Amino acid sequence: MAVKTFKPVTPSLRYKSVADFSGLTPKKDQPKKPKKLIVSLSKSGGRNNLGRTTNFRKGGGHKRFYRVVDFKRNKFDIPAKVASLEYDPNRTAYIALLNYADGEKRYILAPAKLKVGDEVIASETADIQPGNHMMLESMPVGTLIHNVETRPGSGGKFVRAAGQFAQLMAKEGGYGLLKMPSGELRKVNVKSRATIGQLSNPENENIKLGKAGRKRWMGVRPTVRGVAMNPVDHPMGGGEGRASGGHPRSPWGLPSKGYKTRNNKRTDGFIVKRRVRKKR
pLDDT score of 78 more than 90? yes
Confidence of residue 279 (pLDDT cuts 50, 70, 90): low
Tell me what the mean pLDDT of segment 237-257 comes to: 90
Say yes or no to pLDDT of 151 above 70.
Answer: yes
Q: Which CATH superfamily is domain 228-280 in?
A: Ribosomal protein L2, domain 3 (4.10.950.10)
Q: What is the mean pLDDT of residues 1-13?
A: 92
Q: Residue 257: what pLDDT?
A: 87
Please give the class, per CATH, of domain 3-207.
mainly beta
Amino acid in position 145: I
Q: What is the model's pLDDT at position 165? A: 98
Answer whether residue 138 shows pLDDT above 90. yes
Q: In CATH terms, are 3-207 and 228-280 the same topology? A: no
Where exactly are the structural domains of the chain?
Answer: 3-207, 228-280
Average pLDDT over residues 167-177: 95
pTM for the structure as a whole: 0.91
Q: Is the pLDDT of residue 70 over 60?
A: yes
Average pLDDT over residues 76-97: 96
Q: Residue 277 above 90 pLDDT?
A: no
Q: Which residue has the higher pLDDT, 256 or 88?
A: 88
Given a cut of 90, whether residue 91 has pLDDT beyond it is: yes
For 200-223, what is the mean pLDDT? 96
Q: How many residues does the chain have?
A: 280
Contact between 146 and 96 under an 8 Å Cβ cutoff? The reply is no
Residue-level pLDDT at 112 = 95
Decide if pLDDT at 280 tops 60.
no
Q: How many CA atoms lie within 13 A of 63 on its CB side?
A: 3
Look at residue 2 in the predicted model and tell me its pLDDT: 87
Question: Which residue did the predictor score with more confidence, 270 or 278?
Answer: 270
Does residue 45 contact residue 71 with C-beta atoms inside 8 Å?
no
The predicted pLDDT at position 134 comes to 97
34-64 pLDDT per residue, tens: 999 999 999 999 999 999 999 999 999 999 9
Looking at residues 184-211, what average pLDDT do you find? 96
Q: Is the pLDDT of residue 278 over 70?
A: no
